[in-house]
Amino acid sequence: MTPLQLVFLLTAALTLVAAFRVVTTRNLVHAALWLVVTLFGVAVLFVLLNAPFLAVVQVVVYIGAIAVLFIFAIMLTRREMRDQGAQLNKGWWAAALVSLLTFGGLFWLTRSWDGFTRTAAPLPTGQDTLSALGKALVSPDAFVLPFEIASVLLLAALVGAVYVAYREK
């Protein structure tokens, strides 16, 4: 086993365990913290896929901002930080059945696809993906229009957030 495989397997296992804990833990704040672990595992997977910029985005945006927003939202909405109700309701077996059928169907559909066993194409070494992205963001024959539209989207989100959440005295 190469070191790369070892790191991948450890990260994947940690990510899966953390993702499982997110939905099973009783304490919502703990669930949010497990979510941080899950997101961090995904960041490591991005690194393993030779996408360091995405890994940075994952840490800065998802862990640094969105997980913090989740934690604030939990503290805002839960008077008691602990959920007292049951975690399963009466329809749990139906949900399990549907999940199982979906999984079985997808498995059956993809069993002839050779992507699981085929050796993947080597990743682009991508020394300079970041500057390529920077150039693509502002060059007219690439993403300059989506880039500017993204700023309008962010503006709408900003104004909307202030309008909805802020009440003037």
Contact positions toward another protein, by CB under 8 A? 3-4, 7, 47, 50, 53, 56-57, 60-61, 64-66, 68-69, 72-73, 75-76, 78-81, 130-131, 133-135, 137-140, 144, 147-148, 150-152, 154-155, 157-159, 161-163, 165-166, 168
Q: How far apart are CA 58 and CA 39, in angstroms?
A: 7
- Residue (94 or 152) nearer to another protein, CB: 152
34 close to 21: Cβ distance less than 8 angstroms: yes
- Residue (76 or 120) nearer to another protein, CB: 76
Q: How far is the CB of 135 from another protein (least distance, A)?
A: 6
Residue type for position 34 = W
Task: Give the three-state DSSP class for 25.
Answer: coil
Instruction: List Cα–Cα distances, 62 to 35, 54, 156, in angstroms.
Output: 10, 11, 20
Q: How far is the CB of 112 from another protein (least distance, A)?
A: 33
